[in-house]
Amino acid sequence: MHFITVTKAIATLMLASSAMAAPAPIATTPEDITSILSSGETATIEARAQQLIDVWETKNFLDRKFTGSGTVGECYDFPKDFQKILSSGKAKSGFRCTVWPKVKCGGAESLSFDINGRKTFTDAVENKAKSWKCQKA
């Protein structure tokens, strides 16, 4: 009888520890969140970088291109080899992006555009852009 009690205790501990080790589901879309929350589970919401902006070295979306990925609403500096050389750009579908002539989205002047883009940047940012940020359109 002592052996059966010990065996049941070990089985109970193993079952409890495996249940505690199960990670929370990861929600990456609004549908995931709705599904998880309606089931009564807790969820880990994961922010993922996504492609937001395309900018080109020359006018009319030509020559070298940089595609910026990041989190919506956060400011990013262009890589050093793309700073102060950009002349045209487009936001990815569903976004509106802004470029600034200074790092950290600084400067009194900026230029914003959507998916249709700007074939030619204004004098305030053409060949001066150093940073960017995108918002939901």
Question: What is the greatest pairwise CA distance in the chain?
Answer: 88
Q: Chain-wide mean pLDDT for the chain?
A: 81
Residue 98 and residue 132 in one domain: yes
pLDDT at residue 46 in the model: 53
Q: Can you tell me the distance from the alpha carbon of 97 to that of 12, in angstroms, rounded to the nearest whole number? A: 56
With a pLDDT cut of 90, the percent of the chain lying above it is 63
User: For tokens 């050093």, what's the residue?
Assistant: 80
Residue 77 and residue 92 in one domain: yes
Question: Could you tell me the two tokens for 123?
Answer: 């004098």
Give the total number of structural domains in the chain.
2
Question: Could you tell me the two tokens for 129?
Answer: 């852009």
Residue 28 and residue 66 in one domain: no
Q: Is the pLDDT of residue 1 over 60?
A: no
Q: Supply the CATH number for residue 82's domain.
A: 2.60.20.10
- What is the average pLDDT across 71-96? 98
Strand 88-91 to strand 76-77: parallel, antiparallel, or no bridges (unpaired)?
Answer: unpaired
| Contact (CB, 8 A) for 97 and 53 | yes
Q: Which residue has the higher pLDDT, 93 or 33?
A: 93
Residue 108 and residue 54 in one domain: yes
Q: Which residue has the higher pLDDT, 97 or 19?
A: 97
Residue 63 and residue 130 in one domain: yes
Residue 56 and residue 116 in one domain: yes
pLDDT at residue 44 in the model: 57
Residue 112: which region, alpha, beta or left (left: phi > 0; alpha: psi -120 to 50)? beta
Other Cβ atoms less than 10 A from the Cβ of 119: the count is 15
Residue 65 and residue 24 in one domain: no
Residue 123 and residue 58 in one domain: yes
- What is the average pLDDT across 50-59? 98
Domain hosting residue 93, numbered range: 50-136
Residue 98 and residue 128 in one domain: yes
pLDDT at residue 40 in the model: 67
Question: Could you tell me the two tokens for 122?
Answer: 């204004």
Last residue of a domain, one of 45, 63, 79: 45
Residue 26 and residue 59 in one domain: no
- What is the average pLDDT across 85-114? 97
